[in-house]
C-alpha cells in the first residue's frame, strides 16, 4: 500500500481551512508594515546605515537600500534589436545505492537574438563525472563528497561557465545584450559549508562573473514569485525600539528590550511577510522598485565587486525579483537595459522569461531519460566487466515481492 489518500484528504481539508484564516491576518499585518515602510520614504540613507549596523546582530535577513524607498521606475525603452544568452542545469545525483559512484550534470544552453535578424540556438551538454577529483574535495586529510547541496553548487558553477562560452560564441557583434540565469546569484547553499569547500566553489563562481564583466556582458538572474524577506527585515529595523543610528547601535535580537520587558517584540507584525507583500502596492505593470543590496553574510563578505543587488519588477499578477552584480547595478544605463530586456523576455514568455523556459526545457532530465541513463550505465559496466551491482536495498525497492 502506498499513499492512503482517504486519510490524507482529511488533513488537506484542515490545512485549507487554516490557510484561509491566515490570509486575513496577513493582510492586516501587511498593511501595517507597508505604512511603516512608506513613512520612511526619504530616509533610505538612515536605514541603510541601520542595516549595516545590525548585520551581525539581527537574527533576520536584511536589505540595504541603494535608491529611494518609494522608487517606481517605469519601463525603459527597449532597443530594437538585442541578444541574450541563458543557461540552466539539472543533475542526476550520486546514487549511494547505485552500481558505481558517478553523477551527471546536464546544462541547457540558449542563445536568442531579436529584432532585425532574429536567430535562436538551443542545445544541451551533458557531462558525466566519476573521477576521484570530481567526486570529492580534499583539503589535507579531509575529504568531502560532492553530493546534495555541493553538487548543486558545482552545477551553478557549470551554468556560469556555459554562459561565458555562449557569450564568446554569440555575443561579439555589438548588439545590446545580457546573460540571464534562473534563481538567485547568491550562493546561499555554501554559507554553511566548510571554509575550503566555500572557497573552492566561490572562487570559480566569482571567476565566471569576472569573465562576464571583462566581456562587458551584464549578468542578471530572475526569480519568479520570490519568498525572500530581506526588505521586510529592514522594516523590522524601522519598528525596532533598540535601533539608534546616531549612537551607532543596531538591532541586537539577543538583547531585545521588548522581550526583556516581557512584551512581544515590536517587529512581530512582520512575521511571515515577504518583500513582495510590501512592494506589490507601489508597482504597476513593467515598473521596477528600488535597488537594494542583499545583506546576507556570503554576499557582503565574499562577493567583492560582484556584491549582489536586487530589485523587484511587476510582471502581470506577480512581482519578480531580479538580481544583478554591483558592477551592473552601479551603471544606470545597464540597469535600465536589464530592466527592459528582462521585462521583454517575461512578456514574450507569458509571464516567465522565454530564454529561461527554453534553457530549462533543454536541461531537464526526465524520468524516462533517467532510467535509460541507468540502464546504459549498467550495461556498459557489465560489458566492461567492471563487476558492478546495485545495493540490496535498491534491489528490494525495484518491485513488490510476493
Partner 1 sequence: MQRIGEVIESSTTRFTAGAYELLEAPPFGSLVRAQTRSEGMAVYGLVYEIRTGSKEPGGRAVMRGRTYSGRNLYDGEIYHEHPDLAEVLQTEFSAITVGFVEGGRCYQYLPPHPPPVHYSVYPSDDAELAGFCESSDFFRSVLFAAQIPSDELLSAAIRAAARARPDSRDYLVRAGRELASLLKDDYDRLTALLRRIRP
- Nearest distance in Å: CB 219, partner 1: 21
Nearer to partner 1 by Cβ, of 39 and 173: the residue is 173
- Nearest distance in Å: CB 116, partner 1: 10
- Nearest distance in Å: CB 181, partner 1: 17
Contacts for 248-253: CB closer than 8 Å, 24+ residues apart: 248/53, 249/53, 250/50, 250/52, 250/53, 250/54, 250/55, 250/56, 250/57, 250/58, 251/50, 251/54, 251/57, 251/58, 252/54, 252/57, 252/58, 253/57, 253/58, 253/59, 253/60
User: Which one, of 136, 177, 137, 185, lies nearest residue 160 by Cα?
Assistant: 185
Nearer to partner 1 by Cβ, of 38 and 371: the residue is 371
Element (H, E) at 276: helix 275-279
Q: How many residues bind partner 1 (CB under 8 A)?
A: 18
- Nearest distance in Å: CB 179, partner 1: 17
Identified binder of partner 1 from the candidate list 37, 47, 60, 114, rule CB under 8 A: 114
> Is residue 288 within the footprint of partner 1 (CB under 8 A)?
no
Answer for the pair 200, 246: CB distance below 8 angstroms, yes or no: no
Nearer to partner 1 by Cβ, of 54 and 345: the residue is 345
> Is residue 113 within the footprint of partner 1 (CB under 8 A)?
yes
Answer for the pair 151, 93: CB distance below 8 angstroms, yes or no: yes
> Is residue 82 within the footprint of partner 1 (CB under 8 A)?
no
Cell readout for 251 is 538591532
Cell 545580457: give the residue: 178
CA distance between the termini of the chain: 13
Restricting to residues 118-147, name those near partner 1 by CB under 8 A: 118-122
Q: How far apart are CA 190 and CA 393, in angstroms?
A: 31
Of 18-26, 109-117, 171-179, 194-202, which segment contacts partner 1 by CB under 8 A? Answer: 109-117
Restricting to residues 227-256, name those near partner 1 by CB under 8 A: none
- Nearest distance in Å: CB 184, partner 1: 25
User: Which one, of 318, 316, 319, 297, lies nearest residue 308 by Cα?
Assistant: 297
Restricting to residues 304-363, name those near partner 1 by CB under 8 A: 316, 346-348, 350-351, 354, 358, 361
Interacting residues with partner 1 (CB under 8 A): 110, 112-114, 118-122, 316, 346-348, 350-351, 354, 358, 361
Amino acid at each position: 500500500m502506498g499513499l492512503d489518500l482517504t486519510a490524507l484528504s482529511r488533513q488537506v481539508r484542515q490545512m485549507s481551512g487554516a490557510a484561509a484564516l491566515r490570509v486575513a491576518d496577513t493582510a492586516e499585518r501587511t498593511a501595517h508594515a507597508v505604512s511603516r515602510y512608506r513613512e520612511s520614504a526619504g530616509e533610505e540613507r538612515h536605514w541603510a546605515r541601520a542595516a549595516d549596523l545590525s548585520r551581525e546582530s539581527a537574527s533576520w535577513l536584511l536589505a540595504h537600500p541603494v535608491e529611494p524607498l518609494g522608487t517606481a521606475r517605469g519601463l525603459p525603452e527597449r532597443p530594437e534589436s538585442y541578444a541574450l544568452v541563458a543557461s540552466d542545469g539539472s543533475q542526476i545525483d550520486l546514487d549511494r545505492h547505485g552500481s558505481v559512484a558517478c553523477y551527471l550534470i546536464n546544462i541547457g544552453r540558449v542563445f536568442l537574438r531579436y529584432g532585425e535578424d532574429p536567430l535562436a540556438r538551443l542545445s544541451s551538454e551533458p557531462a558525466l563525472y566519476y573521477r576521484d577529483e570530481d567526486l570529492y574535495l580534499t583539503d589535507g586529510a579531509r575529504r568531502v563528497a560532492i553530493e546534495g547541496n555541493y553538487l548543486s553548487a558545482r552545477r551553478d558553477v557549470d551554468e556560469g561557465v556555459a554562459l561565458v562560452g555562449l557569450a564568446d560564441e554569440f555575443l561579439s557583434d555589438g548588439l545590446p545584450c545580457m546573460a540571464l540565469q534562473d534563481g538567485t546569484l547568491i550562493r546561499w547553499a555554501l554559507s554553511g559549508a566548510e571554509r575550503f569547500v566555500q572557497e573552492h566553489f566561490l572562487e570559480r563562481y566569482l571567476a565566471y562573473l569576472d569573465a562576464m564583466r571583462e566581456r562587458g556582458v551584464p549578468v542578471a538572474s530572475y526569480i519568479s514569485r520570490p519568498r525572500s524577506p530581506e526588505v521586510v527585515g529592514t522594516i523590522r529595523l524601522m519598528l525596532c525600539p533598540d535601533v539608534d543610528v546616531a549612537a551607532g547601535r543596531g538591532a541586537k535580537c539577543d538583547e531585545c528590550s521588548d522581550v526583556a520587558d516581557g512584551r512581544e517584540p515590536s517587529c512581530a507584525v512582520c512575521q511571515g511577510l515577504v518583500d513582495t507583500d510590501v512592494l506589490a502596492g507601489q508597482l504597476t505593470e513593467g515598473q521596477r522598485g528600488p535597488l537594494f543590496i542583499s545583506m546576507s553574510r556570503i554576499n557582503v563578505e565574499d562577493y567583492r565587486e560582484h556584491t549582489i543587488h536586487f530589485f523587484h519588477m511587476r510582471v502581470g499578477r506577480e512581482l519578480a525579483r531580479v538580481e544583478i552584480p554591483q558592477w551592473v547595478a552601479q551603471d544606470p544605463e545597464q540597469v535600465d537595459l536589464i530592466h527592459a530586456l528582462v521585462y521583454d523576455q517575461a512578456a514574450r514568455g507569458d509571464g516567465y522569461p522565454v530564454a529561461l523556459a527554453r534553457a530549462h526545457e533543454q536541461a531537464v532530465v526526465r524520468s524516462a531519460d533517467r532510467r535509460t541513463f541507468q540502464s546504459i550505465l549498467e550495461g556498459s559496466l557489465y560489458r566492461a566487466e567492471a563487476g558492478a551491482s546495485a545495493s540490496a536495498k535498491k534491489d528490494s525497492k525495484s518491485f513488490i515481492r510476493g
